[in-house]
């Protein structure tokens, strides 16, 4: 049976790539997109989520989430990276649908009650919605099949500060709460995303193999790549959010470490993800009582890229 997932997302170019992969994969059933601020504002994320699902004929719900972080003032959206509409200026027709009556956190709670042990939460934006769900119903940790989070940087430097990755930096308190919870969690940090590059030639091939999904992704990737070229000197773009979905279907593409995780919530290192390998001890009390989680610390780029292309090609066929 296909794996049931809810994608918590702030679409977002790499979010669109992750959603497309999930929609295309025969072993995944997307129940819903829950929306959050980050790459764009929450209302814009909801409009983008609805537009993508309609454009790709994907019958999933969209539940709108939190509009601000738990305890800090909201940062400006990442329009510099993703463009003012979140899609690098690529126009996706607006949906005529409305969001679900439940907000994102309530949707997660109710869905996991209906399908206990069956749903994986795939969070590829700031973690405010997941943290609110934990607040409202701590027992949700016993009902999820798994939680996969794209966020943080464990052994690498950050991408918005020297130490912080964007999703955790946008709501460090939420990230810390989610990583401290005792649910089965896998973290996909920059360590596993930065080794992979979607080059222009690769994305053009995706567009040829699957025009419906691939053409808008290729156009978005062109804009995304301009940012990576000008700021990092890379000849393509990094598909960060796809890793959170790929873990479910091609786990052999990733190298893992196990350990406890926490997020710094104040000071110049705000948003930094800190990691204590399993079986080790230190004098850092921040890890006291925290569970060990799995961390994806590296990726086999060839296997990852081949799988993404295979899924896209198979969906087109």
Structural tokens at position 79: 């329009």
Spot the catalytic one: 10, 14, 171, 241: 10
The DSSP symbol for 148 reads: E
CB 50 within 8 Å of CB 56: no
Instruction: Report the 3 state secondary structure along 121-141.
Output: EEECCCCHHHHHHHHHCHHHH
Q: Half-sphere exposure of 83 toward its Cβ, with a 13 Å CA cutoff?
A: 20
> Which conformational region is residue 255 in: left (phi greater than 0), alpha (psi within -120 to 50 degrees), or beta?
beta
Spot the catalytic one: 240, 241, 307, 315: 240
Q: Assess whether 240 carries a catalytic annotation.
A: yes
Q: Assess whether 315 carries a catalytic annotation.
A: no
Q: Is 19 exposed, middle or buried (0-12, 13-18, 19+ CB in 10 A)?
A: buried
Residues of the chain by 3-state class (helix, strand, coil), percent to 5 = 45, 20, 40
Which one, of 57, 50, 54, 47, lies nearest residue 24 by Cα?
A: 57
DSSP reduced 3-state for 64:
strand
Residues annotated as catalytic are 10, 240
């Amino acid at each position: 049976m296909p794996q049931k997932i809810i994608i918590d997302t702030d679409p977002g170019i790499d979010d669109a790539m992750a959603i497309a992969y999930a929609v295309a994969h025969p072993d995944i059933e997307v129940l819903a997109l829950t929306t959050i601020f980050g790459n764009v504002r929450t209302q814009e994320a909801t409009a983008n989520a609805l537009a993508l699902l309609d454009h790709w004929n994907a019958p999933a719900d969209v539940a709108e989430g939190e509009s601000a972080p738990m305890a800090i003032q909201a940062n400006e959206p990442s329009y510099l990276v993703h463009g003012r509409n979140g899609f690098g200026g690529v126009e996706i027709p607006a949906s005529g649908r409305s969001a679900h009556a439940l907000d994102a956190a309530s949707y997660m709670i109710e869905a996991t009650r209906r399908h206990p042990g069956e749903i994986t939460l795939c969070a590829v934006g700031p973690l405010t919605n997941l943290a609110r769900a934990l607040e409202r119903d701590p027992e949700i940790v016993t009902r999820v099949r798994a939680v996969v989070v794209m966020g943080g940087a464990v052994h690498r430097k950050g991408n918005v500060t020297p130490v912080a990755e964007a999703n955790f930096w946008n709501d460090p308190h939420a990230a810390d709460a989610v990583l401290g919870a005792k649910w089965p969690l896998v973290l996909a940090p920059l360590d596993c995303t930065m080794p992979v590059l979607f080059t222009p030639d690769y994305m053009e091939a995706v567009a040829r193999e699957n025009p419906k999904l691939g053409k808008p992704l290729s156009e978005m990737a062109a804009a995304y790549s301009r940012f990576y070229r000008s700021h990092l000197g890379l000849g393509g773009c990094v598909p960060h959010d796809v890793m959170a979905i790929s873990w479910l279907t091609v786990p052999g593409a990733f190298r893992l470490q196990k350990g406890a995780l926490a997020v710094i919530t104040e000071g110049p290192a705000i948003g930094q993800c800190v990691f204590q390998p399993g079986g080790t001890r230190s004098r850092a009390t921040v890890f006291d009582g925290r569970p060990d989680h799995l961390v994806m610390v590296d990726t086999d780029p060839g296997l990852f890229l081949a799988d993404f292309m295979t899924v896209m090609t198979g969906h087109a066929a």
